[in-house]
Amino acid sequence: MKNDPNTINSAVRNYYNIGWFGFAMVWTFNIGFIVLLVIDVVLGCRQSNRQMIEEARRIYYYDKIVEYEKDRDQVPLPLMNKWVKLGNLNDRDHAALPDINVRI
């Protein structure tokens, strides 16, 4: 039974098909990586680092306020003022923020 041509033929065919399936999966992953790379480069060219950092800061402090309000009833005013100022959530006082204009 070990040297049966039908068994060997089906085993070789299965090995061959699994190899092509693996190749297709790797190829799909690589194409997806290239697509994500292009999207990242295009978005990176549209925004400066300062804009990206300011947006990340706004999202961080806004989420922090929302999370605090979930756990408790209300955010204390001094803490709210601090987080709004640190997150620049009211879009004021841009000159007080550090100048981050470095491209890596």
Least confident of 8-12, 70-74, 86-90: 86-90
User: Between 4 and 27, where is the model more confident?
Assistant: 27
Residue 90: predicted pLDDT: 66
- Mean local confidence (pLDDT), 36-52: 84
What pTM value is reported for the model? 0.47
**What is the distance between the alpha carbons of residues 89 and 101, in angstroms, rounded to a whole number?**
20
Q: Helix, strand, or coil here: 74?
A: coil
**What is the distance between the alpha carbons of residues 26 and 57, in angstroms, rounded to a whole number?**
36
Q: Mean pLDDT score of the chain, rounded to an integer? A: 80
Residue 95 pLDDT grade (very low, low, confident, very high; cuts 50, 70, 90): low
Q: Three-state secondary structure along 4-54? A: CHHHHHHHHHHHHHHHHHHHHHHHHHHHHHHHHHHHHHHHHHHCCHHHHHH
User: Between 3 and 45, where is the model more confident?
Assistant: 45
Helix (H) or strand (E) holding 54: helix 49-71
